[in-house]
Structure 1
Amino acid sequence: MFDRPSAGDPRVPGSERALLIQVDFGQPDIEDSQEELRLLASSAGAEVVDVLVAKRGAPDAATYVGKGKVQEIGAVAAAHDATLVIFNHELSPAQERNLERALQCRVIDRTSLILDIFALRASSSEGKLQVELAQLEHLATRLVRGWTHLERQRGGIGMRGPGEKQLETDRRLLGVRVKSLKERLAKLSRQRNVQRRARSRRDVLNVSLVGYTNAGKSTLFNAMTKAGVYAADQLFATLDTTSRKLWLPEVGSVVMSDTVGFIRDLPHALVEAFKATLEATAQADLLLHVVDSASHAREEQIAEVNKVLHEIGADQVPQILVWNKADLTGLPAAVERDEYGKLHRVRLSARTGEGLDLLRQALTEFARDNSLSMTTAASADDAAAASANDAVQDV
């Protein structure tokens, strides 16, 4: 079995020299996907030495890229003294094991890379629990690729037992830890639901910022609430959900929440682990869908965000599109409406502050319309109840 070398310190940029692998199956957005992988690797602290593109009709069952391409990858990795090979795809445990044996260096897939970045970014206790849960559930499928000690029977003085293999012990202990993490996250979720119900009784408007990673959500959040949340030009700069109050003169207090950014092919384990946090998104009164309007892939990014929103049950929450980075497109700040006159899109620049007043007006208009609809619904319910009482008295 290949003995994996110790990894470099992920907090030190360039501590690992990474070779990136992109397989072209004929998808139209391959260049965007390559650039995104490069940004992901840089965000994890790796120094990207080269990017190799392989064309295939379908993945190879054993190595994903085929025997010939594996030899080419090995030669390029050796020439660049690469210590890590990153695939922009999801590898099976067997494929990962076969590649490591052939290349004699560490191999990880896109899911492992994103999990590593999340582990670096998590700062709150709940965020760390969520990341650990996702990592353990991902690791559970890869215990078979352990080292030789995983195949030995337990034995010897003080080690005699029922004959349980080390691999089985690891799986059992991992299962116990996963169960414990899920219980702790469920408790935190219940506490958050109590807080949310208390806010709803006070008729406080809840607004969540959602969007593709690096679209400028945290910059917009800071500009609107003066929260001072960490914001940087990197993927997943902000991981933990942060909520702050925003005061609107005609509305009063509004609770605004900044959530983790989404990305294409976001690992399902992460979506599942972060469902507790993302409940705030699903139960919000309004979603501000922040879009990088300067990106030529913005339509695809919008689709990816909506796909994740559907997965967490937030696809029915009203949305206002916020086309951020107007300063990079040269277009003026503006409000756009659909054919029914409803708010559809606000164009602004969170960095320069242009158009923030338009977004505040949009929030005020939504709150006013939403309050009116709730009042109308309450009046209708009261009328129905009064009618029912009259009918009972007539009888």
Structure 2
Amino acid sequence: MLIFALMVEQALQKLNITALNEMQKASIEGAKSKSDIVLIAPTGSGKTLAFLLPLLAKLKPEAKGVQALILVPSRELALQIEQVFKQMGTAFKVNCCYGGHSVRTEKNNLSHAPAVLIGTPGRIAYHLEYQNFDESTIETLVLDEFDKSLEFGFEADMSYIINALLSLNQRILTSATKMDEVPSFVKISKPVEIDFSANNAIKPDLKLKKVMAPAADKLEVLFKLLSKIGDKNTLVFCNHRETVDRISDILFEHGLEHDVFHGGMEQDEREKALLKFRNGSHKILVTTDLAARGLDIPEVEYIVHYQLPYTEDAYIHRNGRTARMNAKGTAYAILTEEEHYKYLPEDIEEEVLAQSYKLPKSSDWITLYLSYGKKDKINKIDIVGLFLQKGNLQKDDLGLIEVKDTSSYIAVKREKVEKLLKILSGEKIKGKKMKLDVAS
């Protein structure tokens, strides 16, 4: 137990987290019983760490093959969990498999089996069917955001996968909503239930406001509201991807920098949009409910419901993107006089907007694209070294760096970009000529 306590302490230091919350402590305690676990907690409460830390205690350095499988409903959530696991600084290998990612790359990664495999049900089922990894060594299964996986229609794939895992000795199921009954195909047995769905200790400090608008003026009102909010991280939620694109056109016409995120976009464009929002290059992300859960988007200060969702659950999950952990947040609902939603409180404070506001200033950061990544043996240290030593940048001029399989993205202070690109033109990294430009 002392070794595990040290591992947890080291992982938290790497993640810059000073202490676990009550839900995470309860999850670690529950995992000690080696029973199956059902963890119910709202979005933004820290469920990822609540299952990764107990998982860490079960991994054996000497073991061969995949020891733990984590199934998730979306590629973005898979990538987020992979990133958190890597940030924990363990010696264990982790790999991620999901639709839209190169199958050949994934097969190559699986040929040297990771200790932890993360993936979407469809892609994991594919690799299982074609025997691209040995499932017989998997002892722990995590079904993260299980309620969302069922909603997305992954029951058949999950059932196929679970039936093939004959060496399981623990199942950990997480959900944002409580289920009347866990489906039988999960084969969960006498689970320890950890229910923080109504826990006040992790209740978000969220302020709700409404902005009234005639239906014909909603787009103009949205622009005013975003201008009032200014340069704070803001998610704008819509019910349909067509609405997202229409809002984007209007904001572009007004010169308001932003990005969009929805299921109709190519995977690399979606990842790039999240990355720019994450590193601060864009402060506004206009999205569908695809961004309501499971994404690594820290410190979102404002939520704007341009269109309110049809269900209270969806509304709660959207609002869960702000006021996460100990932070505060504000959620705005743009409403017409004709709109009434039973799940909205009757006494929501109304925000009255002025006639006009100054256009928010551009972000201090710009994202640069480097056409080399992990497959080219490039890592963050290589990029930092080059940008500081030959690019003449200071540490404060560099922001978030994310290295993908075949590319890398680097946040750089806006005022340094033009000079940096000139200085590094013709330079080499790991013996390869630099291919560096502003990420479009």
Q: Same fold (TM over 0.5)?
A: no
> What is the TM-score with the length of structure 1 in the denominator?
0.28
Q: Which has the larger radius of gyration?
A: 1
Higher normalized contact order (CA 8 Å, seq sep 6+, divided by chain length): 2
* Higher share of residues assigned helix: 1
